[in-house]
A and B are shown apart, each in its own frame.
Chain A
Amino acid sequence: MTSKIKFVHGNEACVRGALYAGVNFFAGYPITPSTEIAEILSQKLPEQGDKFIQMEDEIASMCAIIGASLTGHKVMTATSGPGFSLKQEALGYACMAEIPCVIVNVQRGGPSTGNPTHVSQGDVNQARWGTHGDHSIIALTASNHQDIFETTVNAFNFAETYRTPVILLFDETICHMREKLIIPRKNDIPIVNRFRTSLKKHVDYHPYLPREDGRLPMSDFGDVHRYNVTGLFHDMWGFPSNNPKIVQELLHHINDKIENSIHEITKYKEHYLENAEYILISYGSSARSAIHMAKNRTQRGEKIGVLELQSLWPFPHALVREKCSKAKAVLVVEMNMGQILNQVKLALGDSKNVFLANRIDGNLITPTNIKALLRVIQGRGV
């Protein structure tokens, strides 16, 4: 089969990636600007014999995909700010019970109902800390449709590899604009499928006992192994326990399995970064403006590069440190009040040369916006 060239909006690129990765169950609730994901899947999934359901709210959608994941399906839900808030408790459940699933948040302006039809990147911190308790999370993003496609495939792969929810943090601009997408051929991007136990009937299966390589084989509900799944701290059979040793070990496990895999999870792109004196760190649709600006200035001989992050959590502090060690100044370009900025400051320690180029009025940050700040930093006036 040859590659197929499409002209689609970002939400469709996400759906195409999900289908390529093998999504076969979706539950959701309509919300701008993510709704097209549900609409397209309501057609595509039944066409291939799979299930789509519109639930009564986002909480129910999140719960339904967890249920479907336990029967062995690759599952996804899609939402935006207010709906993402509603999903938090069940999202934390999926972290605790280690259930693979993918949650798309097409960000819009918040808090509250905010600015539904306008862009924002205000949910970056919520993706990391929206739930209660300590746990790690994987959150990925993208700035163009080809990357949305691939990132979505990665999200499913990570969910299966680490038995964890993975968040896709897209934004209104990127998901509503249209551009070219080339659908890769089968096997061009590797797919990680459900890792099931090979243990037979009557052999004691431990759903929560990691193997030496850290992976936890699963067993589908309905299969021969009957075990317990709970959001309480639990032992290796999944049964509730408040034994201090078990509690502490499990908490470490759900954090370490992700933090220790930061190299495998971290995805980024460099644009004109070599010898750059000024580095723009950006992601999602704001990265498009950053890249545009850098390209423009580089052509005029200025040394401005972009570090485009495609994975936001776990945050790649070491990578940022390495790439920015020689920069005169670092500008974080994002559409919030400095959520990634804080991580960059944490990474670079010395925050005197770290600046925020942001826009929070619901409009896409432009290359001109970024240039204006850069001129001030460079001491070239406003």
Chain B
Amino acid sequence: MSVKDYIRERFFPHIWCPGCGHGIVLNSFLRAVEQLKINKNKIVITSGIGCSARISGYVDFHSLHTIHGRALAFATGLKLSKPKLKIIVPMGDGDALAIGGNHFIHAARRNIDVTAIIMNNRIYGMTGGQYSPLSGLNIKASTAPFLTIENDFNIVELAKAAGASFVARTTTYHVLEAVTLLKKAIKHKGFSVIEILSQCPTYFGRKNKKGDACSMLELYKKNTGKIGSKKLNNNPDLIKRGIFVNNNKPEYCEEYEKIIQKAATAAAIRQI
């Protein structure tokens, strides 16, 4: 099978701007699924609202395009009701961590077997470049003409603290790494989070004089370092890439099966 076998070709070219990182995330994601050879009927992709969320319409899986910020809550219903499905949830940084922040930490806390892909462009792309909880300080946005004064989240630390059992970070520049990490995240049993730094040249790039898509990718190359690499050891302030958490703690749906066993036993005893 080729990558094309996993997309709904009739909707291409897609709606994203030239050079948008979300297209690269789509590209990496398709390769990950292709290499994992998962049956298309077993995958549900569910997303909220945003440029990033539009990814769900382009892939040939069961697709559920929901409302802003709530995709993980829909995903929880899908997964718990039919645990054999693979649930993938691509989200923008605003979708995942502003309006959807509560669902994000609770999905992580439950450690439900869902893969969250956070396409972090540090801005609200779809609505025209307003700042997001991932913008960080001193960023220009259409709602921050005098620059931002809000701190950003560290998605990796947040996911870790909330209890996600797989947490990784990469960028749209590091595509081979992205494919490898996506494969690991999708295969992982439990709540897996993969943050992919993804450029929005149209708003973030233009407003913050970061240049075009190519220059933004160059920055990802320059400003990040792989965990364990010499580059990172020499420059510990770089943004870290790689796997931060990977453990096997109990997964929600599997634990729920134990509840069903307990309930059945209790009911049987009551019958006696």
A contact set with B: CB distance below 8 Å: 25, 27, 43, 46-47, 49, 51, 53, 55-57, 59-61, 63-73, 75, 89-90, 93, 220-224, 226-232, 239-240
Contacts and interface: CB of A to CB of B under 8 A. Distances in A.
Contacts of A232: 65
B67 A231 contact: yes
Given A55-B73, A226-B63, A240-B65, 20 more contacts: A25-B77, A25-B80, A46-B260, A51-B256, A55-B106, A56-B73, A60-B70, A60-B73, A60-B76, A66-B74, A67-B46, A67-B75, A67-B77, A68-B78, A93-B66, A222-B41, A222-B82, A226-B62, A231-B66, A240-B57
A228 B63 CA distance: 5
B121 interface: no
Contacts of B65: 228-232, 240
A154 B80 CA distance: 26
Contacts of B41: 222-224, 226
Interface string B60-94: 11111111001001111111111011000000000
Given A53-B80, A226-B41, A231-B65, A71 B103 contact: no
Contact of A55 (B63, B64, B76): B76
Nearest to A65: B77
A85 to B, nearest CB: 15
Interface stretch (B191-199, B238-246, B261-269): B261-269
B174 interface: no
A224 B259 CA distance: 30
B78 A221 contact: yes
B44 interface: yes
B143 interface: no
Contact of A222 (B11, B84, B262, B267): B84
Contact of B266 (A47, A64, A93): A47
A56 B60 CA distance: 31
Contact of A93 (B67, B76, B106, B262): B67
Nearest to A230: B65
A49 B78 contact: no
Contacts of A57: 102
Given A47-B264, A59-B70, A71 B63 contact: no
A59 B248 CA distance: 29
Contacts of A43: 263
B76 A53 contact: yes
A147 B257 CA distance: 34
B130 interface: no
Given A64-B73, A222-B41, A230 B80 contact: no
Contacts of A67: 46, 64, 73-79, 81
Nearest to A228: B63
B42 interface: yes
Q: Which of A25, A53, A71, A239 has the most CB of B within 10 A?
A: A71
Given A60-B103, A67-B81, A70-B64, A49 B260 contact: yes
10 contacts: A51-B81, A63-B73, A66-B74, A67-B79, A68-B80, A89-B67, A222-B41, A228-B57, A229-B63, A240-B57
A46 B253 CA distance: 12
A226 B85 contact: no
Q: Which of B67, B84, B102, B266 has the most CB of A within 10 A?
A: B67
A27 B76 CA distance: 10
A25 B44 CA distance: 19
Interface in B215-251: none
Contact of A47 (B62, B81, B82, B267): B267
Contacts of A239: 11, 57
